Amino acid sequence: MIKAFIFDLDGVIVDTAKYHFIAWRRMANAVGSDFTEEENEKLKGVSRMDSLDLILEWGGVEKTAAEKQELATQKNEWYREYILKMDESEILDGTLPFLDAAEAQGLKLAVGSSSKNATTILERIGLKDRFEVIIDGNKLTRSKPDPQVFQMGADAMGLKPSECVVFEDAEKGVDAALSGGFYAVGVGGDNLKHAHHVVPDFKTLTPNDILQVLPAAAIQ
């Protein structure tokens, strides 16, 4: 029986990808490099330091470990400048009614995000208190596609992976959910077809739509 929904944050509840892109590109330009929006898609669900390594590699830029830490810190400061201006208007359409309906049906709600700023964002958009559990990048030692973030969320709720549905917009996030034994629902992209189910968004979605297509059966 499915007892909980675990949501990734970026691209599922809010669209902060645009702010990540602006901040990362600002950092890349500062070291004489650049990268494209297409390359930025490959950073979804990837930790901050791993994202930095990819961007530097794309630009052929080499930095010491200490310099990388400084760049990552600077990028995060720029990113926080943008997200601290966020408010509830940036919650993606359909999300609030979906959360309301899930809560009314007695489902537990959690956030599982690799972002170290997840709690700050949830506070800014007024959703922090809607989730029983929030697992963010500050609590993790392994990034997606490792399932640690979702396993910690399930553990904190006292549930098994097979009792939880993960909502993800990133390929690595879906990979993480599947490898951890969770039901995986892809939100958006065509690259998520390996999920158990894919939805375009939450605009007309109800919890029953999910519960009916993901019966409480053993995950293959």
Domain limits, the chain: 4-15+88-213, 17-83
pTM (predicted TM-score): 0.85
CA 164 – CA 155 distance, rounded (Å): 11
Q: Which of 202, 5, 188 is nearest to 98 (CA)?
A: 202
10, 136, 169, 175: which is the annotated catalytic residue? 10
Indicate the CATH number of 17-83 among 2.60.120.620, 2.170.190.11, 1.20.140.10, 1.10.150.240: 1.10.150.240
pLDDT tier, 219 (very low <50, low <70, confident <90, very high otherwise): very low
Rounded to 5 degrees, φ, ψ at 61 are -105, 135
Q: Pull the structure tokens for residue 178.
A: 């599947």
Q: Which CATH number fits domain 4-15+88-213: 3.20.20.70, 3.40.50.1000, 2.40.50.220, 3.30.465.10?
A: 3.40.50.1000
The answer to whether 50 is a known catalytic residue is no
What pLDDT does residue 215 have?
Answer: 65
Task: Using a pLDDT cut of 70, give the percent of the chain over it.
Answer: 97
Question: pLDDT digits over 6-19, tens only?
Answer: 999 999 999 888 89
Residue 66 has pLDDT above 70, yes or no: yes
Q: Looking at the predicted structure, is the pLDDT value of residue 92 above 50?
A: yes
Other Cβ atoms closer than 10 A to 134:
20
Residue 216 has pLDDT above 70, yes or no: no
Indicate if 17-83 has the same CATH topology as 4-15+88-213.
no
Model confidence over 130-152: pLDDT tens digits? 999 999 999 999 988 999 999 99
* Catalytic annotation, pick one of 8, 136, 169, 175: 8
What is the structure's pLDDT at 191? 86
- pLDDT above 90 for 2: yes
> Which pLDDT value is given to residue 80?
93
Phi, psi values for residue 9, rounded to 5°: -100, -65
Greater pLDDT, 70 or 116: 70
Of the listed ranges 39-53, 100-114, 126-140, the least confidently predicted one is 39-53
Strand, coil or helix: what is 96? helix
- Mark whether 15 is an active-site residue: no
**Cα–Cα dist 12/15, whole Å:** 7
